[in-house]
Each structure stands twice: as C-alpha cells, then as structure tokens.
Amino acid sequence: MKLKSRHLLGLDGVSKEELTLILDTAASFREILDRPIKKVPPLQGKTVVNLFFESSTRTRISFELAERRLSADVVNFASSGSSVSKGETLKDTARNIEAMKIDMVVIRHSAPGSAHFLTRVLDANIINAGDGWHEHPTQGLLDMYTLREKFGTLEGLRVCIVGDITHSRVARSNIFGLITMGAHVSICGPTTLIPRDMEHLGVKVYHRLEDVIPEVDAFNVLRIQLERQASGLFPSLREYHRFFGLTKEKVAAARKPITIMHPGPINRDVELSADLADGEHSVILQQVTNGVAIRMAVLYLLGTTN
C-alpha cells in the first residue's frame, strides 16, 4: 500500500488505512532507534531541505535526525540571516532552493496553507512541519503513535486536548487524525481560545476541567502563550493556571490514572504542573522519541514511492 498524496500537508482527509500505514511503518523504524547503529539506507542520494521560517528546536532536530538516519543529505534553512529578511518572497526563496536540486522540502511557517502553497510552486515532495494555526501532521501522528503504543488501539480511546485550541496546529492535526482512527476527542479551554463551530469538526467542547476529568483516558496539554494575554484573550497566567492548568490534585478525581501528553515546550506549573509532567503517567519523553520514528516513516513513504 502507498500514500495517496506525494505530500504530507495535514491529517485532514487522510484515510484510516493511510494513517495506519504511517503508524505501522513508524513502528518498524522505532525498533531501529534502539539498535546500536541507527542508520538505514532508503533515502541515500536524496536531498532534503528543512525550511524553517519560524523558530523551532525539537521539530527541526527531530526531522534532521530522521533524515540522517534514513541516509538522506540534509540542508537546513532558517529564516533569520537568510534572504527572507531582505524581503524575498516565500515563492522565490523556495524556488531558489529547489534550483539547487532538492528532492524533499520540510517546511515550518507561520502562515496557514504555506505548505499547500509550496506544492503549487515546487516539484519536490512537501512535508508540513507546522503551518500557522492550521496543521502539524507529524506531531499529530507522533501523538497518535504514542497513544497507540500505550493503549494498544485508538478505537474508542477518549482523548482531551486542553488549552488554546484556536491557535493550535497540534490540536487540529490531533483532532483530524484521532477522529479518523475512531477515538473520542474532546477539547477543554476558555471560550475565548476555542474557535467557532468547533463541534462541527466532531469534538465535544468543555470549559471546566472538572467536567472532563472523569471522562478521559489521556490529556494532550497545549502550551499557553503569554502573547494571547496581551491580545485580550485571557486575563492572566495565574487565572489560567488556576482554572485550566492540570495538576495532580485535579486529576486525582479520575477513576483511573490519566495519561499526560504535551507537545512541548512546557510552561511548568502554568498549563501543566511539574509533578504531572515528570510523573509516572507522563509520556512526554516517549512522544519525543516516537517523533523521530514517525518522521522517518513519513520521509520514507513519501521519498521512496515516486
């Protein structure tokens, strides 16, 4: 089986079979990561460019590791110090880089749809590494992988995403992917950080953690950004922590332990208490490890089928 598209732009519209293929492929790469020699040859001779127009540490390193472990040649491009700061357009930047004979492009950009945009101006395979508030498909996949690893299946699993949903590409990719795989997805956050018509995407909406804690198997906790306070969307970090921050005391109300995920970087004791982040039910570091395997799977599936 193959993926239908030669790009990975998002999880919206990706079928259950395709998601399963990516997760299963990642499982075989995950096993390689535990070997003493972690390098395999499938992308030998291919050149991948990581086009990062937004700062990112773990996603960029994770992609780079995945690329190198598949034996690809890797070029990194970050927007600071490049021609972007001289006013070059995204189209020109991308086409110039492609003119250097690139096979695959991994793009992180602040504008929703920027990965779609590249598919219209380039011939390379495009992988979306986060486009504005839209999608971050490899994050969604690694979250799903981590949940599947922990629970055995995603079917019927109850997952709640907590925090700033409006501005979260992680939330969207998780919602699209998890719902396709048969999970029950809910979201919880302040009304001002949940976009309109969210129910139309098939999720249940909560505004009180107490209401959702008895109903979930796993929380995916999103990072709250201070700049949202400045734009008037919530009053203070203190209030946010008090009402939407996950703490040991709050999750104690659950009948059985709740698995804790976070895409990082964590604001400790703001959206997530340190004891939960480091606790026995946290899978936050597994997420990071699995992220490399997921990215290897995506690069492999896209890079070897055409």
Partner 1 sequence: MKLLLKGGRLLDPVSNRDEVVDIQITDGRIDRIAASVSAPQGYKQVDLKGKIVAPGLIDIHVHLREPGFEHKETIETGCASAAAGGFTAVCCMPNTNPAIDDESVARYVHAKGKSVCDGIVDVYPIGAATKGRKGTELSPMAELAQAGAVGFSDDGAPIASAEIMRRALEYSSMYGVPVIQHAEEPTLTQGGCMNEGTTATRLGMPGIPPIAEELMVARDIILLRYTPAARYHVAHISTKGALDTVRAAKAEGLNVTCEVAPHHFALSEEAVAGFDTSTKMNPPLRTRMDILALKAGLKDGTIDVIATDHAPHTIDEKEVEYTQAPFGIVGLETCVGLCLSELIGNGVLTLMQMIDKLSTKPRAILSLPAILMKEGEPANITIIDPGLEWVVDKEAFKSKSKNTPFHGVRLKGKAIGIINNGKSTIG
Task: Please say which residue, 42 or 132, places its beta carbon nearer to partner 1.
Answer: 132
Task: Please say which residue, 42 or 112, places its beta carbon nearer to partner 1.
Answer: 112
Q: Are 103 and 48 in contact (CB under 8 A)?
A: yes
Smallest distance, partner 1 to C-beta of residue 11, A: 12
Task: Please say which residue, 94 or 284, places its beta carbon nearer to partner 1.
Answer: 94
Smallest distance, partner 1 to C-beta of residue 139, A: 13
Q: Which amino acid is at 23?
A: L
Smallest distance, partner 1 to C-beta of residue 135, A: 7
Whole-angstrom distance, CA of residue 143 vs CA of residue 221: 11
Nearest Cα to Cα of residue 266 among 231, 234, 294, 225:
225
Task: Please say which residue, 130 or 245, places its beta carbon nearer to partner 1.
Answer: 130
Task: Please say which residue, 29 or 77, places its beta carbon nearer to partner 1.
Answer: 77
Smallest distance, partner 1 to C-beta of residue 66, A: 24
Whole-angstrom distance, CA of residue 185 vs CA of residue 179: 7
Beta bridge partners of 187: 161, 205
- The angle that helices 169-180 and 137-151 make with each other, rounded to 10 degrees, is 50
Torsion of Cα atoms, 18 then 21 then 22 then 24, to 10°:
150
Query: Could you list the residues that contact partner 1 (CB under 8 A)?
Result: 12, 89-91, 109, 111-114, 116-117, 121, 131-135, 169, 172, 195-198, 200-201
- Where b means 16+ CB within 10 Å and e means fewer, 261-284 reads bbbbebbeebbbbeebbeeebbbb
Smallest distance, partner 1 to C-beta of residue 113, A: 3
